[in-house]
Structure 1
Amino acid sequence: MTSPSAPQFVIVMGISGSGKTTVAEGLAEHLGWTYVEGDDLHPAANVEKMRNGIPLTDEDRWPWLRKIGEWIDEHEGEGKSAVITCSALKRTYRDLLREGRPGVTFCHVDVSREELERRLAERKGHYMPASLLQSQLDTLEELSEDEPGVIVESTGGQEPVLREVLKALNLDAEGSAT
């Protein structure tokens, strides 16, 4: 991680239904950091495609990823650390998000296909239909050892997951690297 005085950004990544939002909200609350739901930064055309069961292409995702990067840059300029949700399914997407941003690290929330199917079937009010699960699984490139971050299994409840993330990323309760 970067020095305690430099803003830090944890991008909570993973497949739709993995628990990114739950982990990110808990992490932001625990650390006292700003939180943004990356889905809220999607262009309207992307949301409409997903709502209609059409998988996004790289061309659809690049403007969204750049917008997330701009959001990070703005908050870094203000000296604010933050937690952001973003599927960040491919290495190239994560590379774009990290480019020129040494304070960015990833928390890959992993969960079994069966659990994803269960969660997506129960989820209400989200534009991402369960029918796009296979597309996301096909696109996913797991976080590599040479990428900054941690992979956590999200089936043990929020508190154990948060403890694991905080420990793995060397973050203390005040939100600085220990």
Structure 2
Amino acid sequence: MDVERGRPVVVVMGVSGSGKTTVGRLLARRLDVEYAEGDEFHPPANVAKMTSGSPLDDEDRRHWLDTVAEWIEERLGSGRGGVVSCSALKRRYRDVLRRAGSGVWFLQLDVDLETIEARVAERTGHFMPVSLVESQFAMLEPLGSDERGAVVDARSSPEETAENAAALLAE
């Protein structure tokens, strides 16, 4: 990937349960850059809302996306790059993140609804209930051909998915 200054920041995006955290950590290790968990940028009110089974609206996401964008901007400004997991389901959300700098690269993890529902049902200790999975798919605006990044099939192992992403970044 040709980045004017330093290393890119990869935003691992997709619906809840697509593997953003696992693939993001593996990719960050592979690229030898810092990893940030986008869910940790949510204010407590957002977490409480999702835990109760209510989807976030655009206003709920505004501060969260701005905070993720600040992290991206700092990483790009330092030239160190990084990987952050962030659902970034809508193009306008990605536009907020893209404003952090030209070195933002999106990795969309593509997984079907049935697989995601099974994954989310098996998770423990996460605030996103299975009841919100369909709302995530309804909101998802796939990465556009004019957006810097790639879509990868994330039904394979997280290791294979991260390796495929690293190969795409090397192109």
TM value normalised by structure 2: 0.95
Residue in structure 1 matched with residue 102 of structure 2 by the alignment: 102
Residue by residue, what CA displacement relative to the aligned partner does 1:102-123 show, whole Å, maximum 9, x if unpaired? 0001000011111001001100
74-83 or 46-55: which moved more?
Answer: 74-83
Residue in structure 1 matched with residue 160 of structure 2 by the alignment: 160
Percent identical among aligned pairs is 48
Whole-Å separation in 1 of the counterparts to 2:4 and 2:89: 28
Whole-Å separation in 1 of the counterparts to 2:52 and 2:42: 15
Q: Which ranges of structure 1 fall in alignment gaps of 5 or more residues?
A: 171-177
- Shift of the alpha carbon at 1:126? 0.3
Whole-Å separation in 2 of the counterparts to 1:82 and 1:31: 8
Contact 2:9 2:104 in 1 (8 A): yes
Residue by residue, what CA displacement relative to the aligned partner does 1:31-86 show, whole Å, maximum 9, x if unpaired? 11000000000011100100000100011101100000111122223332100000
Amino acid at match of 1:98: R
Residue in structure 2 matched with residue 50 of structure 1 by the alignment: 50
Residue in structure 1 matched with residue 125 of structure 2 by the alignment: 125
- Counting matched residue pairs gives 171
Q: Equivalent residue of 1:109, what SS?
A: strand
Contact 1:2 1:102 in 2 (8 A): no
Residue in structure 2 matched with residue 87 of structure 1 by the alignment: 87
Amino acid at match of 1:63: H
Q: Equivalent residue of 1:126, what SS?
A: coil
Residue in structure 1 matched with residue 143 of structure 2 by the alignment: 143
Q: Structure 1 residues 73 and 163 mapped into 2: Cα distance closer, same or farther (>3 Å)?
A: same
- Shift of the alpha carbon at 1:158? 2.2
- Shift of the alpha carbon at 1:4? 7.5
TM value normalised by structure 1: 0.91
Aligned residues: CA RMSD: 1.4
Amino acid at match of 2:148: P
Whole-Å separation in 1 of the counterparts to 2:16 and 2:53: 13
Residue in structure 2 matched with residue 14 of structure 1 by the alignment: 14
